[in-house]
């Protein structure tokens, strides 16, 4: 009898426990499964004082240098592969690049017009891993837009090699499993299976050509909590003429009657910036092959100087690639010209622009 009572008590108590959280789930609503992609690992590490002797420190430093040197000495896996086995078609998707925004300055065209350009530096990009479409099982989000999820593979690209001791062990594990050193930035590109690249392939700025159009994805400048004038461009109210206490305020935010409430989507003050935005169809005007710098037309690329952005071939139908680009990517070579210029751009070392008299 006592054991029976005990059982009842246990079951009731277990029902009361906090661990069990009821999830709302019915025919109309199924909560999305939030789970990170299987290659995602936390990167930030809490640094701690290790109390090492100077000799041990030197030893660790030596090992780091050895690893870095062996990484640098690695030959591109593409060097011995015949590139012409696979053909590029307008429907294939290539890899992209991870670049850093380093500033803007003007270039002049051959007919004397001034163009503002943004400089993007492609730093130390390597292919980390390829996940074929059958194995790739992306995280489910609220927006379901994975129409091509069965056909595209996932290619992980990393940029900027970092000291392995500055990141977590789990994050290092992603790179260790393929024999690479950890990278500061890791990004996923969806690619067609025939444009997959082997691990360790270096990517350069010459992956794109001058005159091509690319899409740039980056985080916009974080402006914090902003009022309605800065965030949405409202005009505010007059500075004088009897206006008191409402100079930068939004004014009316809704009507009465049936609509006596604030409508969803009303433009109001709030956090501005620090969002992922894609600028599509940006033209490449100039490429430096030594420092891997791309000069992009315009100053609309999101983010401040030093922001990281992701580049890939544009999806705009009229600006899409028409001629076959370097496929699957441009191999490493030392005999490239230092700079490529778009045909409309005037190189600074050329002679002064003169217009012929007709």
Binding mask 147-186 toward other proteins (x if CB under 8 A, else -) reads ----------------------------------------
- Least distance in angstroms from the C-beta of 112 to other proteins: 4
Residue span 196-235 as binding mask against other proteins, x where in contact by CB under 8 A, dash where not: ----------------------------------------
> Using CB under 8 A, which residues numbered 81 to 120 contact other proteins?
102-103, 105-106, 108, 111-112, 114, 119
Q: How far is the CB of 100 from other proteins (least distance, A)?
A: 9
Give how far the C-alpha of residue 168 lies from the chain's centroid of Cα atoms, to the nearest Å: 21
| Nearest residue to 312 via CA among 201, 190, 217, 215 | 215
343 binds other proteins (CB under 8 A): no
Applying CB under 8 A, does 357 fall inside the site for other proteins?
A: yes
Whichever of 91 and 355 has its CB closer to other proteins, that residue is: 355
Give how many residues touch other proteins by CB under 8 A: 28
Q: What is the DSSP string of 278-317?
A: EEEEEEEEEEETTTTEEEEESS--SS-TT-EEEEEE---T
| Residue in the block written with tokens 């008299």 | 357
Q: Which residues contact 328 (CB under 8 A, 6 or more apart)?
A: 78, 83, 86, 94, 95, 194, 195, 196, 197
What does the alpha-carbon distance between residue 183 and residue 161 come to, in Å, rounded to a whole number? Answer: 4
Binding segment for other proteins (CB under 8 A), chosen from 203-211, 254-262, 264-272, 341-349, is 341-349
What's the closest the beta carbon of residue 179 comes to other proteins, in angstroms? 30
Give the residue with the Cβ less far from other proteins, 121 or 199. Answer: 121
The gap between the terminal CA atoms of the chain, to the nearest Å, is: 113
Is the separation of the CB atoms in 188 and 254 below 8 Å? Answer: no
Q: Rounded distance, CA 56 to CA 41, Å?
A: 28
Angle at 314 between CA 313 and CA 318, to 5 degrees: 130
Residue 82 Cβ vs other proteins, minimum distance, rounded to whole Å: 35
Give the closest residue to 106 by CA, choosing from 351, 299, 342: 299
Q: How far is the CB of 104 from other proteins (least distance, A)?
A: 8
Using the rule CB under 8 A, is 307 a contact of other proteins? Answer: no
Among 95, 131, 293, 296, binds other proteins (CB under 8 A): 293
Among 121, 168, 220, 226, binds other proteins (CB under 8 A): 121
Interface ranges with other proteins (CB under 8 A):
102-103, 105-106, 108, 111-112, 114, 119, 121, 288, 291, 293, 304-306, 346-357
């Amino acid at each position: 009898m006592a054991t029976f009572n005990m059982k009842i008590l246990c079951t009731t108590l277990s029902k009361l426990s906090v661990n069990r959280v009821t999830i709302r789930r019915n025919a109309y609503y199924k909560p999305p499964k939030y789970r990170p992609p299987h290659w995602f690992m936390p990167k930030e590490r809490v640094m701690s004082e290790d109390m090492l002797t100077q000799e041990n420190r030197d030893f660790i430093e030596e090992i780091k240098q050895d690893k870095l040197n062996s990484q640098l000495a690695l030959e591109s896996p593409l060097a011995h592969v015949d590139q012409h086995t696979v053909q590029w078609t307008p429907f294939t998707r290539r890899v992209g690049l991870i670049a850093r925004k380093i500033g803007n300055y003007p270039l002049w065209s051959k007919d004397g017009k001034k163009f503002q350009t943004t400089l993007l530096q492609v730093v130390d990009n390597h292919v980390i891993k390829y996940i074929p479409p059958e194995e790739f099982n992306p995280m489910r989000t609220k927006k379901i837009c994975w129409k091509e999820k069965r056909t595209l593979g996932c290619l992980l690209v990393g940029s900027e090699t970092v000291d392995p001791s500055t990141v977590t062990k789990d994050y290092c594990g992603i790179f260790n499993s393929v024999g690479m050193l950890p990278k500061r930035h890791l990004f996923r590109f969806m690619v067609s299976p025939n444009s997959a690249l082997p691990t360790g392939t270096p990517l350069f700025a010459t992956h794109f050509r001058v005159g091509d159009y690319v899409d740039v994805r980056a985080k916009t400048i974080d402006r914090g909590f902003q009022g309605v004038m800065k965030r949405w461009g409202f005009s505010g109210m007059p500075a004088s003429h009897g206006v008191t206490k409402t100079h930068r305020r939004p004014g009316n935010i809704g009507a009465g009657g049936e609509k006596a409430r604030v409508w969803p989507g009303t433009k109001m003050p709030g956090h501005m910036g620090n969002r992922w935005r894609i600028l599509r169809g940006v033209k490449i005007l100039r490429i430096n092959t030594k420092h891997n710098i791309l000069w992009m037309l315009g100053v609309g690329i999101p983010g401040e100087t030093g922001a990281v952005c992701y580049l890939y071939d544009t999806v705009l139908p009229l600006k899409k690639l028409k001629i076959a680009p370097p496929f699957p990517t441009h191999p490493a070579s030392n005999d490239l010209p230092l700079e490529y210029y778009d045909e409309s751009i005037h190189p600074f070392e050329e002679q002064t622009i003169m217009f012929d008299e007709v």
